[in-house]
Amino acid sequence: ETNTSTNFIENIIDEDNAKGTYGGKVYTRFPPEPNGYLHIGHAKSICLNFSIAQKYGGKCNLRYDDTNPVKEDPEYVKAIEEDVKWLGFQWEKRCWASDYFDQMYEAALELIRKGKAYVDDQSADQIRETRGTLTEPGVESPFRSRTVEENLQLFEEMKDGKYGNGEKVLRAKIDMSSPNINMRDPVIYRIEHSTHHNTGDAWCVYPMYDFAHPIEDAIEGITHSICTLEFEDHRPLYNWVLQEVGFWPNPPKQIEFARLNVTNTMTSKRKLRKLVEDGVVDGWDDPRMPTISGIRRRGYTPESIRKFCSEIGVAKSNSLVDQGMLEHCVRSDLQNKVESRNVIENPIKCVITNYPQDCQEMVEVENNRNVPEMGTRQIPFSNEIYIDGADFMEVPVKKYFRLFPGNEVRVKGAYFMTCNEVVKNEDGSIRELRCTIDPATKGGDSPDGRKVKGTIHFVDAKTAVKIRVRNYDNLMLQDENGEFSVNPASISEEICYAEPSLGEAKPGERFQFFRHGYYIADTKLTTDTEKVFNRIVGLKSSWKP
């Protein structure tokens, strides 16, 4: 799983290390806003930040970006930490951006003292309207030339609660005609009379992201601040803040990479929250959700997610990754790890007329056909077995080698079996098949060397256990413009018959259902008496690595 190829971020780090910029240290951070559950896009950022730190013997912080005085939900914080740990990472420190409010305020005062920030009385609308466009410079605020003393006093009054929301803001004094609109005197503090989950009512002025983030990084001694591409145009402001505040001699550097987008997958906390709130899904960890908790409950392994994140690499331009790649990663992780079990879908009963009625024997089957060391197990066989609906055709199509009247197949682990008669119900549906076995073929080979083309699997009808199997399709459908709509057929459940051992399956246990795919016993719905399985992924893929 070690990715030995270097990416452009590592090239930057290598250069820094060669020059000794940070004394050879690498310190990254993962900075979620605790306003929802993490999704597969965040997994990319987590894997990137933590594995870069690991690769260079450095450190990585988990930092809650809680500079908005929104009500932070402890449920989200708990979920975020569970997700990071599940992915296999451990943070150096757990930090809260709001713990730095004093230092951020100090930094703002420093800018004011240097004549690099001013209090503006214009409304948000006025500020937006005077920002200019890509082709036209902005218009300077009439309050731009306030004196340092006046600004210090007004900012203190803002902090002391003398003004209402939106009455005044603090702006960086940079350049209203900069070609980069982010540099046209951006707002760095706003008034917001709300209670903050951490600092309570201590503050009614809150720093804006572009001002707060570089300071958070600098305070923690972050060396390389990795973020997504939409912040590329903000980088000059990131650098400006650190340089003009000047408290940190060796400021961190921002590096942007492309957001992860996966086909048919919605990666936006806000939109995912709406699905939860509207009851479209059964919570954030619904197995169809692209949240890390949903993916976990669906049955994906942390190894498969790390592999996925490492294989897709780090890009400098926005890209769309095929969801088949994610499925490929979990399939190839599970194929050598989990044991197989016989499970029958759309069962058809076969009555074996030349097998003793009251007899039951055990037959041997492999636990994992790729990995002989995983051994074998014994499963019951008797004169009544179930086979998959898909393994029988009354009138076979061309090249159909499974069971049909008059044909002989191998029943894996047991005997060669021939179908002699189809018994119907009154409505014409199949009631059962009457079959015979060849007792000389026990174990699945014929002493006379005759070959059969089809191999099918079975469960013993007398000892079979019923399980609930949930199959999933995409939660969201995407049209040609990339617009999402809810797939009305994203989940289907069926009752299947399984070999007896699945009656003992524990929540979270994974299996290959022989010839069907990979499944996990649902961690919430599986009980001692009822087994509910989620299909993780099918066996075959149309997607080629």
Least separation in angstroms between residue 6's CB and ligand ATP is 19
Query: Which CB atom, from 257 or from 472, has the smaller least distance to ligand ATP?
Result: 257
Least separation in angstroms between residue 228's CB and ligand ATP is 4
Query: Which CB atom, from 7 or from 523, has the smaller least distance to ligand ATP?
Result: 7
Least separation in angstroms between residue 519's CB and ligand ATP is 28
CA distance 190 to 193: 10
Least separation in angstroms between residue 208's CB and ligand ATP is 14
Helix/strand/coil for 311: helix
Query: Which CB atom, from 238 or from 355, has the smaller least distance to ligand ATP?
Result: 238
Please, are residues 198 and 99 in contact by the beta-carbon 8 Å criterion? yes
Q: How far apart are the first and last CA of the chain?
A: 16
Residues engaged in binding ligand ATP (CB under 6 A):
31-33, 41-42, 44-45, 65, 227-228, 259-260, 267-269
* H or E element, residue 156: helix 148-159
Least separation in angstroms between residue 315's CB and ligand ATP is 10
For residues 200, 203, 209, 212, the Cα torsion angle rounded to the nearest 10 degrees is -100
Annotated catalytic residue within 63, 159, 269, 470: 269
Please, are residues 253 and 221 in contact by the beta-carbon 8 Å criterion? no
Angle separating helix axes 40-55 and 74-86, nearest 10 degrees: 50
Token pair listed for 127 = 């500020």
- CA-atom Rg of the chain in angstroms: 31
Count Cβ neighbours within 10 Å for each residue of 57-78 and write b for 16 or more, e otherwise.
ebbbbbbbbbbbbeebeeebbe
Q: How many CB atoms lie within 10 A of CB 489?
A: 9
Amino acid at 473: D
Query: Which CB atom, from 151 or from 267, has the smaller least distance to ligand ATP?
Result: 267
Respond yes or no: is residue 259 known to be catalytic.
Answer: yes
Please, are residues 150 and 115 in contact by the beta-carbon 8 Å criterion? no
Annotated catalytic residue within 259, 273, 434, 515: 259
Please, are residues 387 and 377 in contact by the beta-carbon 8 Å criterion? no
Query: Which CB atom, from 32 or from 69, has the smaller least distance to ligand ATP?
Result: 32
Least separation in angstroms between residue 318's CB and ligand ATP is 10
Least separation in angstroms between residue 227's CB and ligand ATP is 5
Please, are residues 49 and 63 in contact by the beta-carbon 8 Å criterion? no
Query: Which CB atom, from 67 or from 301, has the smaller least distance to ligand ATP?
Result: 67
Least separation in angstroms between residue 35's CB and ligand ATP is 7
Query: Which CB atom, from 42 or from 116, has the smaller least distance to ligand ATP?
Result: 42
Query: Which CB atom, from 110 or from 232, has the smaller least distance to ligand ATP?
Result: 232
| 130 class by beta-carbon count within 10 Å (0-12 exposed, 13-18 middle, 19+ buried) | middle
CA distance 417 to 536: 32
Classify residue 440 by its DSSP letter.
Answer: G
Classify residue 43 by its DSSP letter.
Answer: H
The residue with its CB nearest to ligand ATP is 41
Respond yes or no: is residue 159 known to be catalytic.
Answer: no
Helix/strand/coil for 362: strand
Helix/strand/coil for 376: strand
Respond yes or no: is residue 253 known to be catalytic.
Answer: no
Closest CA to 144 of 116, 182, 167, 109: 116
CA distance 129 to 149: 28
Catalytic residues: 33, 259, 269
